[in-house]
Structures are given as structure tokens and as C-alpha cells.
Amino acid sequence: MKLNVSNTPALMVSHSLHILDINEPALVLISQTYKDVINKSVENFFTCPQKISLKQLNAYVNQTILLEVDNKPFTALILPQQESTFSIILIDQQPQDKTPAEHKNQVIGRWMYNTIDRTFQLSKTCAALLALEQKTAISLDYIIENLAKSDTGQVVNAFKEAGINKQPFSLEVHTKHSLDVAPLQLICHGLQDESAPTLLKGIIKRNIYTQKLDCKLDEQHERRGRALEGGQIGTWSIIHYKNEMSVRWDSQTCKLLHLPATNNHGSICTWINHIHPQDAPSVKAAIEHAFIQNKDFEREYRCILQDGSCIYIYAKGVLSNDSRTNTSFLDGVIIDHTPIYEARMRLEESNLLLEAKVKSRTAELDQAVKHAEMASQSKSEFLSMMSHELRTPMNAIIGALDLLTDQDNSFEEQELLDTAAIAANNLVSILNDILDINKIEAGKLELDCFDFDVSKMLNNIIVIFGPIAEQKGVKLKVLESDNLPAELNGDENRIRQVMFNLVSNAIKFSGNDSSNMGLVSIALSCEKVNALVSKLIFVIKDDGIGIDKETLKKLFTPFTQADKSTTRQFGGTGLGLAICGRLIELMGGEIVVNSEVNIGSEFTVSIPIWNFKPRELQTLYSCITLFSNINDTPEIENLKNKLSFYCNEIIVIPINSLTSYDTSSENLNILIATSMADIHELDSCSFTPHDVLLLYKRDLFEQLTERFKKTFKLNLDTLTFFTLQKYCLQLKERSKLEFEPLQEDDFAINLDLTTEPNNDSPYQLPLLVVEDNEFNQKLMVKQLSRLGYNCELASDGLQGLKMWQNNDYALILTDCHMPGMDGFELTRQIRKFEEKSAEIPIIAVTGAAMKGDQEYCLSVGMSDFISKPVTLAKFKNTLEKWYGN
């Protein structure tokens, strides 16, 4: 077969892709001679973006592929021939500036049009693009039938003209297919070749990217439409141009506002007209504000529908500008918020109801709190009253017992009096506990802090509990750390109260088993927390009955004891530990309890302390000699550490060396007896008993007392800094006194009874006692007389005031609560009369014991305060303080 396609470059290739024939234009194109190319591989002269293969040729039969010659792209039409050969016609040269991407996005079909019989030959792609099945001899009319009506005119005219002038043209056409939105480009290249003047050639191409994009856009548009419709969201757009605002809105907005679909645009006033008259001005102002300030728009407002009903709208718009046209756009959405608004309204209603309920409940609670406070107040007042009412008779009882004790009583009588006095004091103590817990729970307890000697406080506890423990067969042991401060700032009374309670409990619950003697240890130490704060720690440990876990949990709850049997066996109100717990809490400290049933309990209390004075050296002796057969035991080491504060040197030597010792006032000799063997050794030694200090173990006390009656003795187990210092000072003082000469006049006496007994008293001016209770009057007169004071009586404040105006008194003792004029009013009146003259001391003597009462007394002008029961010692201390001052 001979290829003869006139001026169009063409070639014929075998199935092995060898060139079988080639025409002249093709040889010119590749710049080769016929013999040079025949039977040569087509790849030697033509390149393809995809490798040329038989498979590819078969795949592109009747279609075009891209071939390059000297880097020039050509569209090549593949036509099948006989015996698996192919004709390749290089139809036209592709524009060089087209990028592969553009090719990629283009689908091109070829056509040839016979202007005589007005029929088309279509390539397969071309037929596909026009949605036709037929490819050959297709009439122009048939083609036109398949195009959109709007395009038919221009296509008919174009081919008519081209049939005459054979000139190229280009049109945009649409097929009838409903999905075929993107236009096709119909291009006529002119004549096929000069030799065939009736054949026009051309292409139809479609940019599939644009089509895809259009499809996507349509899809998105549809989706958006569905979403907006589903969400009942309408869209609108306000265009602002040259101070004019026009609005367009979509069909969904029309639906929302119940408007006809055609009513979808208008001026801003048309838009505003749909808005509730009350909201319209503010919405308009907000839109204008958005344009002026170039800000977005957001508003909630009501719209009036045609039927007169009202819906709630949420509108939001975003502002944009087109600087080219000097136009601004506010594009936004409106959402029907009516259901949300209604829900919100219902919620607000519910909230209002709830608030009303809460208010009502709060009022009820307030009422309940007021009732509770009133009840608490009544309880406090009752306790305060009870305190006063009980203390007044208790005052009489304790005072009377005090006086009776001073009389000449038989042993049995004295025993009964002591019992009654102990019982009365215990009763006052219980009363104090009840008042304390009441004060703590009412938050009225205040700490009264001052500097105090903690070792002295510990010694007071030992003095009180020593005999009690002794009687019960419980051994007391005290351990003070060396770093214990000399003085610390705190509420001594409250700290003592805590320690008192814990030690009392420890003794109470120890040594109850006859086989077990019982041991209670009290350890006192100081621990530094940081540069400013330290902790006072005291640990009270016993080997008593212990506490079970359940009881431990409620140990600090008022009126709680281990169980009822505990109360029956050991007594107590169950208030002690509750008070301790609260007091420690109030002091910012903590209490930790470790206990095991039948093993014992350990209470560790730590209280923060800020201001304290460290113990300083107070050299009383140049040397202290310890005569001891034991050395290096913790007890002796502890003793040496304590003694080192009072001397320069400490020597320890055995007791048998006591035959020679230094008796000078610069030396202190301390004998330590820890066993009977030590006592026997002491018996054989010669020493002056009054210038030594004897330290002993508790079980040797009786033996030593019989032998060394005049010797200062201290229990080694309960030794404190305070006692040690006190005895060292006394021994030092005694050694000095021994050398003080006595005079004969020292033994002269004055027994003169011819004058009034009270004239012996140094207290010449009488006291004025203002007291309404007759018994208390008598008691106070007796007590004051016993102390050497004269006194005169007034039964109430009014009488007291008159007597003070008419007589001269050294001081006034007054009850606070009396009928008529009470003690407070009496004080106010006296202070008023005194004006600038010297104030007479006025001392309140009252059954009230609250701290506030004392402060109140002082606030009205009283000088001091004594709480009942008033013992002789209390009277003595207070009167000595104020008498003559």
C-alpha cells in the first residue's frame, strides 16, 4: 500500500513499529531521505511522551496521540490499516506554549466536513464529545439536532459561511444533554488540504478541568442549598455603592420570611420593612455602622410575617470591599431562632421558678440558721447564767471550806473537809470545762499569750500529779530536751490545760492492773521548723488500757469516752480531749494519737512558737560535783547537760569519795542515790546534809527522807530545769545566809493585845464591800479579817455609792450583778464623780468567768477582776496588788 496523503505528513508503520512507507511532507518534517527511514524504527524519528508501542497504537486507533519531531509537538491521528499496520497522519502542529497540564485537561475530537454533501466524518472522541454513536456520514442537521437550541443558529451560519469562504472559525456550543453544562469549543481549521477544496477539517475540544470544576461547583452549590434549606438558613447580601444600599436574598430567606420567591431583592428599606418596628431602627443603625466602621454585623431581632405573626431572627454578616469598583458588600445569613428563643424563654421561666424556689429555701434556711443561732445564743446565755448561778454558791462552799480548814480540826474532820474541798474544786473544774467547750464552739475563746517558763509549767503539772500517780502506783518520768527555751510566748494556761488533761488521762488509764505498776512519761522538746518558727512538742505516753481504732476516730468529739463502761470505771465528762483538740487547733498546732489496746497510748502535741528566749548560761557555781556510782547513763548525761547551764565544770566521782569534798560556796555537791547500796554508802560517809542536793530514784524516797530530813531532795525521774535551777539558787542563797549574823533583837516579839486586833494590821483604811448575797457578805468579811483588812458592807450599788461619797476607803470590792444599781453602774457613777481626782481601785468579785466579762468589767472603769470562788490566796494576791496603790 502506498501512502498518498498529499501535503499532510503521513507514514505507515508495521506492528513492529518499523516505517513501511512515508510521504514527502513527512520526510521534509524529519529532514531525512526516503531510503534512510524505510524499515527503520519509528522511534528513531518520532518521540512520544508515552513510549510508542503496538499496544498504544491499538488503544488509540481512530484517535490522536501526541508525537514530537525535533521537540515540536504534533497531533497524530492513528488509523488502522490492513495486516496489523497503521497509518499515522500528523494532522497539525500543537502550539508550543501549551503546557502538558493543559493537554491533560483537554479532550479533543477531530472532524472533517464535506461542504458539498454537508456531512461529517468524526473521530471516536469527537463523536463521544457530541454524545453521538455514529461517526461517519453524519449530516449537519443531525449534529445541530444534538446541540442546544440557543446554539443552532450560529452553528448553521458558521458552516454555511465556511462552506463558501473555507475560512477557519471558532464557536462555543452546548449539547442538549442536561448534565453537559460546560461549553464545547467547535474549531474549524479551514480546508483539509488544497487538493480537496470541499473538505473542511477541525476539532471539537472540551476543557475537562473546567467541566470538573463546574460539576464540583454545582455539587457544592447543591449541597450548600440543601444544608441551608435543612438548617432553615437564608442568605442575603447588601451592596453598598455610592451611598445607596441594595439587598438581595435567596429563596430560603423568602421561605423564612414567608415572601414570594420572586420578591428576592430590593432597597435597604424593603429589607428593613420586614423587621419588627421596635427592632428596625437598631438593625438599620447596626448595618450602617458595619459599613462605616468596616466591621461585621451581628444582631438578633424580630420579623413580622405577612400573617402578622412574629419570628425571632439571628442575622450575621461579613463585610468585604471591592476597591476597584469602590463597592462594599455585607454578605450574611439569617436563621430562624424562634424555637431557640422559645426554649430560652422556657429556660428563663424555669430559672425564675428555680430562683424563686432557691430564695424560698434560702429564706427557710436563714430562718433555720436564725433559730439555731438563737438556740445557741440561749444555750450560751444559759451556760453563762448557770456559770454565775453555780459559781456563787460554789464560792460560798469553797470559801467556807477554806475557813474551816484553818480551824483546829481533828484528823477525821480534816479528812472530811479535804474531801469536800476536792469535790467542790472538781465541780468548779467541770463547770469550767463546760464553759470552755461552749466558748470554743461559739468561737468566743481567745488566746491570752504572754511570755512564760515552760519548764515551770511542767513542774506545776508534776507537783500536782506526782502525789496522784504515787497514790495509784504509777511511775512518772519526765524528759526535757536541752534546747527547751527558757521562756516562750504563748497561752500558758491553755497549754497547761492541754498537758494537764493528757497527763491526767494517762495516769487515770494506767496502773489499773495490780501486776503492772504503770509508767507515764512526759517528754518536752523544741524543734526548729525554719528561721522564724519552731515547734513546742510534748509527748505523753502511757502503758495503760489503750484505745481501739473506732474510739480513736471520735476521740476529740465532745462528750465521747471509749464506752459507757469507761465512764463508769474512770469517770469524767468526755469533754477533756475535745477541749484539748480544739485548743491545739486554735493555737495552730496538731495532736497525733497512737494507741494500741492493752499496750498503751501516745499523744504527741506540737504547737508552733514564734517568740522564745533560749536558755542562757547562769553560772551559779564554778564547779558542780556529782557523787554517783553510775555514769554515762542517759539520765546522768541528761542531768549533766542541764547542770552545765549553772556551772563552769562538772565532775563525776563515786559516792565513796564523799569523805572529802569542797564545801565552799563556789562548789555544789550533788549526791545521786539510785539503789539501796548507794544509801548504805552514804550512811558511812560524813557530809553536811544541808549544803548538798540529793537526787534519788522514787522507790528510795522514804529511806532517804528518814535519813536526810533537812537535805534538799529531788526525784531524778521528774527533774526539770525549773526545779534544778530553783534548788541550785536556794542552796546558793542558803550558803550565803549561813554567814548572816543574827542579833538579839531578832528574837524580840510583840504580843500586845490591848489595842484593837486590826490595828496590828498594816492596812489602816477600810475596804468597801458591795455584795447583795448575805452569806457571801459574811464570808468575805471573815476572809478579809483573816487577811488583816477592815471592811464595811453595802448591800447594793446605790448604798455603796452613798458610802463611798461620805467615807474614805482604800478600795472597793463589788459584786457585778445586783438588784437596783449593779456593780457596773456603781463603777460608772464613781468614775464620773472622781473626774480628775485619783481613782479608787474597784475590784469586781463575780461568778461570771467568761473572758468577755473580764474585759467588760475593765471597760466600764473597774481596776481588776476576781472570779468566784475566791480563796484566801486569791484575795491576798489581789488586795496586796491594789491596796495603797
Partner 1 sequence: MEINTLDSLKTLNEDVMLELLGDDRDEINSFRQQFLVQAKNSLQKIAGYYRQNQIKAIKDEAHYLKTSAKAIGAERCAYYLQQLEDTTQTHATENIRKQQCRAYIESLSNEIKSVFHACNNK
Residues that bind partner 1 (CB under 8 A): 406-409, 686, 688, 690, 710, 737-738, 740, 742, 744, 746-751, 753, 757, 760, 786, 788
Q: Write down the least CB distance from residue 846 to partner 1, Å.
A: 29
CB-CB contact of 611 with 487 (8 Å): no
Question: What is the Cα–Cα distance from 361 to 364, expressed in whole angstroms?
Answer: 5
Task: Give residue for cell 477544496.
Answer: 197
DSSP letter string, 746-799: GG------SS-GGGGSS--SPEEEE-S-HHHHHHHHHHHHHTT--EEEESSHHH
Task: State the burial class of residue 121 (Cβ atoms within 10 Å of its Cβ: 0-12, 13-18, 19+).
Answer: middle
Closest separation in Å from C-beta 756 to partner 1: 11
Q: Which is nearer to partner 1, 70 or 408 (CB)?
A: 408
Smallest distance, Å, CB 404 to partner 1? 12
| Cis peptide, bond prior to residue 869, ω within 30 of zero | yes
At its nearest, how many Å lie between partner 1 and the CB of residue 408? 4
Is residue 857 within 8 A of residue 865, CB to CB? The reply is: yes
Residue 749 C-beta: closest distance to partner 1, Å: 4
CB of 870 to partner 1, least distance (A): 20
State which residue, 594 or 711, has the beta carbon closest to partner 1.
711
Give me the DSSP letters along 393-452. Answer: HHHHHHHHHHHHHTS---HHHHHHHHHHHHHHHHHHHHHHHHHHHHHHHTT------EEE
Min dist CB 397 to partner 1, Å, is 22
Closest Cα partner for 211 from 180, 248, 232? 180
3-state SS assignment for residue 710? coil
- DSSP 8-state assignment for residue 278: T
Give CA–CA dist 542/506, Å, rounded. 6
Look at residues 403, 444, 441, 401 and name the one whose alpha carbon lies nearest to residue 423: 401
Q: For partner 1, which is the closer residue by CB, 296 or 406?
A: 406
* Residue 324: how many other CB atoms lie within 10 Å: 6
Q: How far is the CB of 669 from partner 1 (least distance, A)?
A: 15
Residue 103 or 690: the one with the smaller Cβ distance to partner 1 is 690
Q: Which is nearer to partner 1, 563 or 733 (CB)?
A: 733
CB of 486 to partner 1, least distance (A): 31
Report in angstroms the alpha-carbon separations of 266 from 305, 328, 636.
17, 16, 110
Q: Which is nearer to partner 1, 657 or 688 (CB)?
A: 688
Smallest separation, CB 728 to partner 1 (Å): 19
Q: Which three cell numbers stand for residue 739?
A: 554567814
Cell 494517762 belongs to which residue? 506
CA distance 809 to 830: 13
Distance of closest approach, residue 737 Cβ to partner 1, in angstroms: 7
Side chain identity at 213, as an amino acid letter? L
Identify which of residues 572 and 689 has a Cβ nearer to partner 1 in the complex: 689
Give all strands of the β-sheet with 487-490 in edge-to-edge order.
450-452, 487-490, 612-613
Which residue lies nearer to partner 1 by CB, 616 or 740? 740
Neighbouring-strand partners of residue 65: 76
Our measurement of the distance from residue 434's CA atom to the centroid of its chain's CA atoms, rounded to an integer in Å, reads 36
Nearer to partner 1 among residue 324 and residue 710 (C-beta): 710
Q: Among residues 602 and 691, whose Cβ is nearest to partner 1?
A: 691
Q: Which is nearer to partner 1, 225 or 689 (CB)?
A: 689
Angstrom distance (rounded) from CA 356 to CA 415 = 71
| Rounded CA separation 795/785 (Å) | 19
Closest distance between partner 1 and the C-beta of residue 710, in Å? Answer: 8
Residue among 150 and 686 whose Cβ is closer to partner 1:
686
Nearer to partner 1, 293 or 750 (CB): 750
Phi/psi region, residue 546 (left: phi>0; alpha: psi -120 to 50; beta: rest), is: left
Strands 767-770 and 712-715, sheet pairing: unpaired
Between 83 and 740, name the residue whose CB sits nearer to partner 1.
740
**Minimum distance of partner 1 from residue 688's CB (angstroms):** 6
Residue 658 is given by DSSP the state G
Shortest separation between residue 717's beta carbon and partner 1, angstroms: 29
